[in-house]
Amino acid sequence: MEANKEDKKSGLKEFFTLGEVGNYFFRKKDPNRPSNINIKMMHGVNKLSIFIFLMAVIYLVLKRLL
């Protein structure tokens, strides 16, 4: 019976979930996590590189389609 519920869950809604990348951008601050300037800079650079990569992919797809 539980397998049927899981099968129904996958679909269009499952396709558009943010997943790990979305959780990386929109997660709550964890008070148990260490916080120093090195970690903040590392996460800032990671977010910037993911954003630039996604913009480049969108640009290439649009360039190919148009």
Which of 32, 26, 24, 13 minimizes the C-alpha distance to 50? 24
Tally the domains of the chain: 1
Confidence check: pLDDT of 1 > 80:
no
E-strand stretches of 1-66: none
What domain range includes position 17?
2-65
13-60 pLDDT per residue, tens: 666 666 766 666 677 777 787 778 988 898 889 889 989 999 999 999
Task: Please provide the DSSP assignment of 33-47 as one string.
Answer: S---HHHHHHHHHHH
